[in-house]
Amino acid sequence: AQSVTQLGSHVSVSEGALVLLRCNYSSSVPPYLFWYVQYPNQGLQLLLKYTSAATLVKGINGFEAEFKKSETSFHLTKPSAHMSDAAEYFCAVSTQGAQKLVFGQGTRLTINP
């Protein structure tokens, strides 16, 4: 069975600072990994995904994530935070042949002016 742990339910950074949202996964088979963003009162939007190609994945809005098998991690980063990045971020895991996404508990990102 797969599982995801997101370290930190709330992260607060200043505008222009580095954003780092942590995600660790557990999977007995090679995982597929996703980051989704949820803005207030909206659905989930895909930021980026890893499906066993390049370990450094670039997504939308300047976000990227690196798959590290040895650390079972898939942390999300953005070099410079913008006020519009304030949202809830979800890491999710799936596997080849699986039908469902297993989500972490989410991290609420706050950007301070």
Partner 1 sequence: DSGVTQTPKHLITATGQRVTLRCSPRSGDLSVYWYQQSLDQGLQFLIQYYNGEERAKGNILERFSAQQFPDLHSELNLSSLELGDSALYFCASSPRPVTDTQYFGPGTRLTVL
Residues that bind partner 1 (CB under 8 A): 32, 34, 36, 42-46, 49, 51, 90, 94-106
For 40-88, give the DSSP string. TTS-EEEEEEESSS-SEEE-GGG-EEEEETTTTEEEEEESS--GGG-EE
- Give the shortest CB-78-to-partner 1 separation in angstroms: 21
Instruction: For residue 81, give the nearest of 20, 38, 35 by alpha carbon.
Output: 20
- Give the shortest CB-113-to-partner 1 separation in angstroms: 28
- Give the shortest CB-58-to-partner 1 separation in angstroms: 15
- Cβ closest to partner 1, residue 11 vs residue 50: 50
- Cβ closest to partner 1, residue 86 vs residue 101: 101
- Cβ closest to partner 1, residue 12 vs residue 42: 42
- Cβ closest to partner 1, residue 73 vs residue 107: 107
- Give the shortest CB-41-to-partner 1 separation in angstroms: 8
DSSP conformation class of 17 = S
Helix, coil or strand: residue 111? strand
